[in-house]
């Protein structure tokens, strides 16, 4: 019986705004949670990069990681801390390493989701290596790129099978453009994917543990306007469908935090991009939705740290495939998989925990996002991204959107 501190580490790269808000909100929450005879308190610090003894114990109960998809020393430190010290981390570093966009397409196809028809093609060129020549000479078959384009139809999209950040994504309208794009693709392994065009809606669904938020998305707008502010852009049934798709993919791949993109055409939602290991969390793109993200991150990380949620090191795909095989119909199949996903994320226990221990978060966040500390965090991010003469104007724009979020929240 006594005070026990749960330590949270933030493993960060270029993030500025959300960690500042996360840290200050945590402090203002003044948590003292009665838990199994003890009183839980929480501390947060930023993980530093340094040499480590593999047997050196880890000081954190939970790490929120935003770095290891490209910075591998931190990734290996986290992996050793999970294996040796029982650390809980999101997102799962092995799953990030092993599962790129391509695997998510394949898995979702087996679960019956409406991923557009997608082909993979061998790369146009290769880095030289000892076995390359004999391998290609024996086994690489000549293929007719135009015939694949014809089967998929135009427009189609050529994009890296493991892509992110729109790098190397090309919309292709005819065979000549397809051949030109392939010639220019170099050593990258590419997908060719049927275009869902024109689409009726583009939605990004952010998932954080069992929490989700749908955002209407406009990829053609400038960066600060891509996440739209409107909230009632899909009906209830579609909302539930998108939330289910997001929870299923996140639970399936052990990604606690992910942003899932889907396009609506007619009555069908087509998932096109469901593998974002380090989803955009910046106030400069999320603005109106930014406070939701900070709060969702706090709730889920506090829940996991408080309850010592065990880290699932291995993925368990069998039950999803079995559920999908059992249910012939799309809706029933998705519902069955979503039930597994909610169980994976302890949804009911989490909701109960939040109601009991974090009931004051809404009021604390409302006050925080009205004040100078939050505005300073916004400004710091804007200063990092915008030229000096635009800092004032864009700080004010994002700030006003956060104030609009506060008004919408208090209106219910
Ligand atoms: N099949 C498709 N049909 C219609 N539009 C598509 C399709 N695939 C990609 N796009 C368009 O291309 C953009 C980038 O594609 P995609 O999201 O797959 O790549 P990405 O590199 O993962 O992008 P990001 O990391 O920014 O989300 C999408 O936001 C969408 O506008
Ligand atoms: Mg995308």
| pLDDT tens digits for range 49-89 | 999 999 999 999 999 999 999 999 999 999 999 999 999 99
Domain with CATH 3.40.50.20 in the chain: 3-98
Q: What are the CA-CA distances from residue 129 to residues 70, 132, 133, 135, 363 (Å)?
A: 24, 5, 8, 10, 60
Q: What per-residue confidence (pLDDT) applies to 1? A: 73
**CB of 15 closer than 6 A to ligand 1?**
no
DSSP string across 91-153 = S-HHHHHH--HHHHHHHHHHTT--PPPEEEE--S-----TTHHHHHHHHPPP--HHHHHHHH-
What kind and span of H or E run contains 192?
Answer: strand 190-194
CA of 206 to the centre of ligand 2 (A): 12
Split at pLDDT 50, 70, 90, the class of 317 is: very high
Q: What per-residue confidence (pLDDT) applies to 164? A: 83
**CB of 159 closer than 6 A to ligand 1?**
yes
| CATH number, domain 3-98, options 3.40.190.10, 3.40.50.20, 3.40.1190.10, 3.40.50.300 | 3.40.50.20
Q: Is the pLDDT of residue 165 over 90?
A: no
**CB of 157 closer than 6 A to ligand 1?**
yes
**CB of 193 closer than 6 A to ligand 1?**
yes
**CB of 404 closer than 6 A to ligand 1?**
no
CA of 2 to the centre of ligand 2 (A): 47
Q: What per-residue confidence (pLDDT) applies to 48? A: 98
Token pair of 10, please? 């933030």
Closest approach atom of ligand 1 to CA 217: 29
Atom 13 of ligand 1, residue of closest alpha carbon: 166
Residues 262-297 pLDDT 10s: 999 999 999 999 999 899 999 999 999 999 999 999
**CB of 165 closer than 6 A to ligand 1?**
yes
Residues 333-392 pLDDT 10s: 999 999 999 999 999 999 999 999 999 999 999 999 999 999 999 999 999 999 999 999
User: What are residue 212's DSSP bridge partners?
Assistant: 207
Of all residues in the chain, what percent carry a pLDDT higher than 90?
97
Q: Is the pLDDT of residue 109 over 90?
A: yes
Task: Please report which ligand is nearest the Cα atom of 263.
Answer: 1
CA angle 119, 124, 125 (to 5 degrees): 140
């Amino acid at each position: 019986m006594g005070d026990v501190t749960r330590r949270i580490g933030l493993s960060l790269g270029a993030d500025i705004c959300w960690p500042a808000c996360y840290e200050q909100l945590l402090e203002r929450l003044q948590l003292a949670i009665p838990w199994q005879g003890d009183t839980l308190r929480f501390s947060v610090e930023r993980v530093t990069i340094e040499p480590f003894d593999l047997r050196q114990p880890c000081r954190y109960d939970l790490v929120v990681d935003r770095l290891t998809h490209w910075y591998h020393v931190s990734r290996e430190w986290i992996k050793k801390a999970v294996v040796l010290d029982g650390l809980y981390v999101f997102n799962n570093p092995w799953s990030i390493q092993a599962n790129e966009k391509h695997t998510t397409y394949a898995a979702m196809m087996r679960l019956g989701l409406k991923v557009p028809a997608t082909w993979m093609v061998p790369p146009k060129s290769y880095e030289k290596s000892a076995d390359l020549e004999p391998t290609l000479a024996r086994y690489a078959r000549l293929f007719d790129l135009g015939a694949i384009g014809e089967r998929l139809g135009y427009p189609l999209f050529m994009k890296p099978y493991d892509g992110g950040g729109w790098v190397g994504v090309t919309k292709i309208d005819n065979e000549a453009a397809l051949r030109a794009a392939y010639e220019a693709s170099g050593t990258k392994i590419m997908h060719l994917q049927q275009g869902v065009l024109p689409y009726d809606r583009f939605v990004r669904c952010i998932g954080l543990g069992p929490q989700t938020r749908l955002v209407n998305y406009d990829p053609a707008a400038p960066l600060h306007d891509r996440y739209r502010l409107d909230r009632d852009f899909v009906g209830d049934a579609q909302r539930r469908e998108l939330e289910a798709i997001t929870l299923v993919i996140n639970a399936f791949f052990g990604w606690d935090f992910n942003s899932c993109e889907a396009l609506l055409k007619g009555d069908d939602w087509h998932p096109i991009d469901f593998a974002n290991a380090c989803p955009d969390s910046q106030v400069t793109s999320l603005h109106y939705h930014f406070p939701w993200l900070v709060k969702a991150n706090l709730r889920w990380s506090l829940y996991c740290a408080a309850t010592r949620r065990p880290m699932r090191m291995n993925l368990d795909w069998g039950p999803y495939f079995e559920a999908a095989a059992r249910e012939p119909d799309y809706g029933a199949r998705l519902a069955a998989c979503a039930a597994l996903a909610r169980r994976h994320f302890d949804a009911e226990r989490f909701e109960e925990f939040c109601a009991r221990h974090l009931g004051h978060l809404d009021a604390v966040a409302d006050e925080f996002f009205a004040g100078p500390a939050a505005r300073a965090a916004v400004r710091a991010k804007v200063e990092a991204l915008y030229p000096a003469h635009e800092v004032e104007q864009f700080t004010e724009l994002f700030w006003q959107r956060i104030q609009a979020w506060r008004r919408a929240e208090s209106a219910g």
